[in-house]
Amino acid sequence: MSHHRMRICVIGTLLLASAVGSALALPPPATLHEWIEEMKTAPRGPFEGIRWFCEDGSVRPARAGCSGHGGGIQHGEWTARVKEMRDGGYLIANFFVDLDGSQFTGAGADLGDLKQILLERFLVGFDEGWILRVVQNYRGAMQAEDEEHGAGRVLEARRSHVRRCEAPRFLLGHALFSLEARVARCRDAARPAESAAIATARPVAP
């Protein structure tokens, strides 16, 4: 990594840390930095494994599904360290599929969380994946189609909100553009995989 790229990544990490609240006490910054660096090279990144997150609140193994539990979604489950950081206000390893956009609109809009999520997307794009660097090889950790739909919901919610505002903030306006680009990238990334799956699919015996 070039000196310039490294400096930008360090600045981005510090900005993300500066947005963190004080909900819970966290380890010293040096320890958090070590955790982040380890996630970049860990075989599963920031995830413990693949799980199903069901509508009834249950969390089930990757092959179990959510039949009889109201349906659900499948993606990576955070490690204990990621959960600790998130409980302390450090929002990393975010999933757009978990968002409906309402969190970021209206009088009670949580724009601090939105800024953290978008800043993480910047780090992922700039720092060769950041903590998600190896997740692209960890099948099921992030579902491209689900992430696309989730990002689209956030995008449309913010667009509707900005249209109602007389003076939208530059950061969030730029964020909308970045998020729209992410939706397009997710869609493009999903298509080759879908084509390959169709091409290699075998008939299921009755």
- Per-residue pLDDT at 193: 44
Burial of 163 (0-12, 13-18, 19+ CB in 10 A): exposed
pLDDT at 205 over 70: no
Q: What DSSP character marks residue 94?
A: -
| Residue that has been written with the tokens 């799956």 in this structure | 197
So what's the pLDDT on residue 109?
Answer: 80
How confident is the model at residue 24, as a pLDDT? Answer: 64
H or E element, residue 82? helix 80-87
| DSSP letter, residue 159 | H
- Is a pLDDT exceeding 80 seen at residue 178? no
Identify the pLDDT of residue 108: 80
pLDDT of the residue at 40: 94
Pair of tokens at residue 46: 């920031």
- Torsion, Cα 27 20 155 72, to 10 degrees, reads 40
**Between 178 and 50, the higher pLDDT residue:** 50
- Are 95 and 142 within 8 A, CB to CB? yes
Cα dihedral sign, 131-136-140-146: positive
In whole angstroms, what is the distance from residue 96 CA to residue 145 CA? 11
- For 143-167, the pLDDT digits (tens) are 888 888 888 888 888 777 665 554 4
This prediction has a pTM of 0.69
The amino acid occupying position 206 is P
